[in-house]
Structure 1
Amino acid sequence: MSALTSSIPTFDHDEIIQSHPVATLLIDRGAVVLFVNAAAEQLCNISRSAMVGRVVYDVIGMDRGYRQRMNDPDTSALFAHRAEIRIGGGKSIFVDMQMVPYGSNGHRILALVPSQSEAELMGGAIGRSGRAAGAAASMLAHEIKNPLAGIKGAAQLLARKTDASGERFTTLICAEVDRITTLIDQMEHFSRGQPIACAPINLYQPIHQALEAVRARQLPGVRFSEDFDPSLPMVQGNHDAMVQILLNLVTNAGEALGGRDDGVIRIATAYRHGLSIDNGDGRGRIALPIGVSVSDNGPGVPADIRDDLFDPFVTTKREGRGLGLALVAKLARDMGGTVQHVRDGEWTRFRVNLPAAQPSARKEPRP
């Protein structure tokens, strides 16, 4: 018996809970959140730092009956089927909620399991955004792009035969044709149904390339902050896609700061256990332990568009096209990953979660 017992390995229980796919929170006798795992962050769309130390029902909206029972230290157990809760951004979802006692000091474990429809919504939201964008791109490319070259050519011919006053209008026509062509080129990214080629890449190479391009624009009043994990393993991804993702996110962050003189854009990387997703491509759930985030201390995303943020044509910019974040979502999904938006205190954070390269192909990148 002693030989059998000695052969059983020891486990890091905190690591097990952190890696568990069920959203799990630890609360004390007063319902204050003490611990949150990665699955709970993903479900609630709220960062760990924004939840720990707060009363659980101030973070996760729930009916008065549940609040009263969680606030009662004598209530150690609770189960509710398809309970409606309100998560980050005010969105309502239905979950199976279970609370059980933990230890002898009145702490309790709260587990939140999305209903089947909600689980499908979480796993497929980015996929649906990509498919909707693809349909829109195919339609508009067919109807618009073909005549553009003829329109521009005709305008250029007219410019040779007109005076200075007429040239102003032909120049405007050519500029507008170029703008529409660029718009269509961006939209055609969505219509490509085949997956992009992915291979083990050093994440810091596209990060540095994107930052160099953005810094060349000399954003006034904006300071860049970097918080990199030097031991990050290789990512299974696409270099060019990652450059485009980071360019879009950092550019958006710079525009959100609006020329203020105390603006900060923070780029960070981290290895996080427990996050996985099923993209509906037949591969089952895929672990997404590698994260790169772009944060800014600007005013944040308006509440009325947060739920549709990654859909095409959703924007608050007067001259915006609403394609930047939709493209970010599609490229992340094409690499088997996801992108999340979180409002964390004064920070607006977009976090891209990606799969690690297979062990045989891994090398240790350096920032």
Structure 2
Amino acid sequence: MSALTSSIPTFDHDEIIQSHPIATLLIDKGGVILFVNAAAEQLCNIGRAAMVGRVVYDVIGMDRSYRQRMNDPATSALFAHRAEISIGARKSAFVDMQMVPYGRSGHRILTLVPSQSDAELMGGAIGRSGRAAGAAASMLAHEIKNPLAGIKGAAQLLARKTDASGERFTTLICAEVDRITTLIDQMEHFSRGQPIACAPLNLYQPIHQAIETARARQFPGVRFAEDFDPSLPLVHGNHDAVVQILLNLITNGCEALGGRDDGVVRIATAFRHGLSIDNGDGRGRIALPIEVSVSDNGPGVPADIRGDLFDPFVTTKREGRGLGLALVAKLARDMGGTVQHMRDGEWTRFRVHLPAVSKKGRDA
């Protein structure tokens, strides 16, 4: 035994699990609770003695589909984002629920992590400020666009009668009118209630279109890396919406790198078994197994705006309008999906989750 090995203290693993801040339960193959840690007792507001020996879904109220899967010895793994649970007479709560196999006896470890707020994960609506921006755009767009068109028309008439020095100013007027009109068009995205037309989609078509468009802008010092799962099924989505989402995320990643020589923007896809979400739109839980992520090794999002990152007009860019990520979140939600932001080590990662085409859809 080396001197370094001998200096490492031994640990009481039971005490480590008991002190772990994540609610953790051990259940057998029939769903009977064998062990709970202190965090689980606190989350459920029930003592260990009242939980051990009971079937887990008799203690923690949950959707029938989860009860069936926990009661099925053949189901060893489960992951659900924002699963709704209830304990006793308490109001329901949303948790990220994960179940993994433990040992060879059919036992399973179940963890319950309170879900992040909608402002952080955009699992629900865009947020109050998003709806306010939509309402404002709907009311003001028509009133603003009409005088803008008149201003631009007058400037174009003046340009015909002025010299070169005057034409410089009329050109500036027209350019500024076009810029303001574009801004209003972007704001109007938040007031449109029409659903996006979705169909079976090969995800790699919009991915490659977005990457090629970003490459054409020639961001200095940025290298693109691709990590694709070639076995992904078709996505239930909209081609143009996916292109817009990815182009916004890739462009943001490139701009965040600020021209550094070792900048990398990584685009990856994966299939996530068991991931589902309830968007609160009356359709119940929707499986979102298709993941496409855009990551960069830049400095990351400042901590003070992470909670509001997907709200309109929140930006770190000097010339930014703060509409790009709000639009990303809205388009993802309109397709029945969601978008998440996270800081993973040295990487800033945005993960978009979308539904796969059902078997019925493939047959059609």
TM-score (norm 1): 0.69
Q: CA deviation at 1:145?
A: 1.7
Q: CA deviation at 1:142?
A: 3.0
Aligned to 1:199: 199
Count of residue pairs the alignment pairs up: 285
Give the direction of change, closer, same or farther, for the CA distance of 1:80–1:316 in structure 2 (3 Å limit). Answer: same
Q: C-alpha separation between the residues in 1 aligned to 2:308 and 2:231?
A: 35
Give the direction of change, closer, same or farther, for the CA distance of 1:331–1:75 in structure 2 (3 Å limit). Answer: closer
User: Are 2:295 and 1:263 aligned?
Assistant: no
Query: In the alignment, is the contact (CA less than 8 A) between 2:134 and 2:191 conserved in 1?
Result: yes
Q: C-alpha separation between the residues in 2 aligned to 1:195 and 1:95?
A: 26
Q: C-alpha separation between the residues in 2 aligned to 1:275 and 1:97?
A: 10
Aligned to 2:232: 232
Aligned to 2:151: 151
Q: C-alpha separation between the residues in 2 aligned to 1:311 and 1:139?
A: 19
3-state SS of 2:166 partner: helix
Q: C-alpha separation between the residues in 2 aligned to 1:242 and 1:259?
A: 26
Q: C-alpha separation between the residues in 2 aligned to 1:148 and 1:264?
A: 41
5 Å-filtered alignment, 1:129-278, equals 130-278=130-278
Q: Which amino acid aligns with 2:323?
A: L
Q: C-alpha separation between the residues in 1 aligned to 2:123 and 2:197?
A: 22
Query: In the alignment, is the contact (CA less than 8 A) between 1:293 and 1:352 conserved in 2?
Result: yes
Give the direction of change, closer, same or farther, for the CA distance of 1:56–1:267 in structure 2 (3 Å limit). Answer: farther
5 Å-filtered alignment, 1:47-126, equals 57=21, 76=37, 78-81=40-43, 109=109, 111-112=111-112, 114=114, 123-126=123-126
3-state SS of 1:325 partner: helix
Deviations 1:157-194 (A, max 9, x none): 11222233322221111111011111111122222101
Give the direction of change, closer, same or farther, for the CA distance of 1:217–1:360 in structure 2 (3 Å limit). Answer: same
Query: In the alignment, is the contact (CA less than 8 A) between 1:81 and 1:97 conserved in 2?
Result: no
3-state SS of 2:190 partner: coil
Q: C-alpha separation between the residues in 1 aligned to 2:133 and 2:175?
A: 25
Query: In the alignment, is the contact (CA less than 8 A) between 1:341 and 1:348 conserved in 2?
Result: yes
Q: C-alpha separation between the residues in 2 aligned to 1:210 and 1:118?
A: 27
Q: Which amino acid aligns with 1:220?
A: P
Q: C-alpha separation between the residues in 1 aligned to 2:349 and 2:280?
A: 26
Query: In the alignment, is the contact (CA less than 8 A) between 1:295 and 1:348 conserved in 2?
Result: yes
3-state SS of 2:41 partner: strand
Deviations 1:258-284 (A, max 9, x none): 111110000000000222111122111
Q: CA deviation at 1:208?
A: 0.6
TM-score (norm 2): 0.70
Query: In the alignment, is the contact (CA less than 8 A) between 1:288 and 1:353 conserved in 2?
Result: yes
Q: Structure 2: which 5+ residue stretches go unaligned?
A: 1-11, 23-34, 46-92
Aligned to 1:292: 292
Q: CA deviation at 1:123?
A: 4.2
Aligned to 2:30: none
3-state SS of 2:126 partner: helix
Q: C-alpha separation between the residues in 1 aligned to 2:196 and 2:118?
A: 28
Q: Structure 1: which 5+ residue stretches go unaligned?
A: 1-26, 34-54, 61-73, 84-93
Give the direction of change, closer, same or farther, for the CA distance of 1:274–1:316 in structure 2 (3 Å limit). Answer: same
Q: C-alpha separation between the residues in 2 aligned to 1:193 and 1:181?
A: 21
3-state SS of 1:232 partner: coil
5 Å-filtered alignment, 1:288-367, equals 288-362=288-362
Deviations 1:16-68 (A, max 9, x none): xxxxxxxxxxx9546479xxxxxxxxxxxxxxxxxxxxx955xx7xxxxxxxx
Q: Which amino acid aligns with 1:177?
A: V
Give the direction of change, closer, same or farther, for the CA distance of 1:321–1:140 in structure 2 (3 Å limit). Answer: farther
RCO higher in 1 or 2 (8 Å CA, sep ≥ 6)? 1
